[in-house]
Amino acid sequence: MTKKGQALSILMVSTLAFTVCFMVWMMFGVIGIPIKKTLGLSATEFGLLTAMPVLSGSLIRVPLGIWTDRYGGRIVMTVLMAVTVPAIWLMAYATQFWHYLVIGLVLGLAGGSFSVGTPYVARWFPKNQQGFAMGIYGAGNSGAAVNKFLAPALVVAFGWTMVPLVYAAIMAATVVLFWFFSYSDPAHLVTQNTSFREQLKVLKDPKVLKYCQFYSIVFGGYVALALWMVQYYVGEFGLDIRTAALLAACFSLPGGVLRAVGGWMSDKWGAHSVTWWVMWVSWICLFLLSYPQTDLTIMTTSGPVSFHIGLNVYLFTILLFLLGICFAFGKASVFKYISDEYPHNIGTVSGVVGLAGGLGGFVLPIMFGGLMDLTGIRSSAFMLMYGVVWVSLIWIYWTENRHQESADHKAAAAGAHN
């Protein structure tokens, strides 16, 4: 097979593998609802339950990125997926809260697959196509939407314990497919004389911290909402689990599939432009989503007049859909930054940035639950994310926009002087 044919095969099979891994990673977003009812969990405990796989999937990202640089994506991805199969299967037989937390930590390793596939796929494509290639691979985030279609159907038909059994079988089959349709290229490996410490030196670059913050909202926020939205629809609008999962998929599906479009846009217009507009549109959407259901009474000359202010399920879903699109573009643009600035250390840097995004996905659901238990306001989750986006906008402006404005002024002054 030609080099180009191998690259396309790797892209397709890696995207499939990441989709399955993400589907498994988001499993608690659906089966957590009957588990919560069975165990009588609070909102905070439910947030902790859904966040445990995200924690382990985040912490493992840095070593996985380094191992991918050193040993190759083919072997690392295969071993990673194989390790999760027993844990997924055992989920069906857990009976206590701590069982789910421990098993969730193991199956959460599937979430680390992003730090394997990103450098593995990127190195098989030329620089001007890497954003698009990584965007296609990142579209495996749509596994969150696949989970919302498949898991509720299994829950209704067979009970929630059927979900981990089916998912374990799917993961095992994916391991086999990935191994037979992926390839290795020794030229893509970091030399064995390079130490881990040398690979990690790039983390002293302050720009890496900035990309971590961006990714904590566009990916961490995506993961958190993908886990939180099914129960949000059930509680806020009184929907059944299948309808709630279907509407929640209106966020998860574009948030995954359109990542490839975001990669193409980043290749064409640059990572900065795409990220800047992503943050602004997200800021507007989150501002509207933050407003709680409100009954307002004002005194007029004719007496009191009452108004109801709040989003109905249709407007809420439309805004959530737009937010999913923004996050899809943003996830791609952040990694375009990385491929442009760290072409020889993509694995390590993407691992660290992915870790930050994953930790955002771990912390946010717990904070969502804590805020709801504290205030009783479900939309407080969007209020929190609104504040995080504000931080991103300010950071972009002071580190990129102001520098560009300064450069433009200097160029104009030089031109006038000449």
Q: What is the pLDDT of residues 258-280, one digit of tens each?
A: 877 887 888 888 888 898 899 99
What pLDDT does residue 162 have? 94
Q: What is the pLDDT of residues 300-340, one digit of tens each?
A: 888 899 988 888 999 999 999 999 999 989 988 888 888 78
Radius of gyration of the chain (CA): 22
Given this model, what pLDDT does residue 16 score? 94
The residue ranges of every structural domain in the chain are 3-183+202-406
Rounded CA separation 158/141 (Å): 26
Has residue 384 got a pLDDT over 60? Answer: yes
* 34-38, 220-224, 264-268, 279-283, range with greatest mean pLDDT: 279-283
Q: Which of 191-195, 264-268, 412-416 has the highest average model confidence (pLDDT)?
A: 264-268
- Return the pLDDT at 141: 78
Q: Which residue has the higher pLDDT, 387 or 338?
A: 387
Q: What is the pLDDT of residue 190?
A: 66
For residue 411, pLDDT over 70 is answered with no
Q: Model's pTM, two decimal places?
A: 0.75
CATH superfamily of 3-183+202-406: MFS general substrate transporter like domains (1.20.1250.20)
Q: Which residues contact 161 (CB under 8 A, 6 or more apart)?
A: 92, 93
Average pLDDT of every residue of the chain = 85
Cβ count near 8 (within 10 Å): 15
Alpha-carbon gap, residue 336 to 262, rounded angstroms = 9
Kindly state the tokens that stand for 219. Answer: 């990916």
What pLDDT sits at residue 202?
66
pLDDT value, residue 405: 53
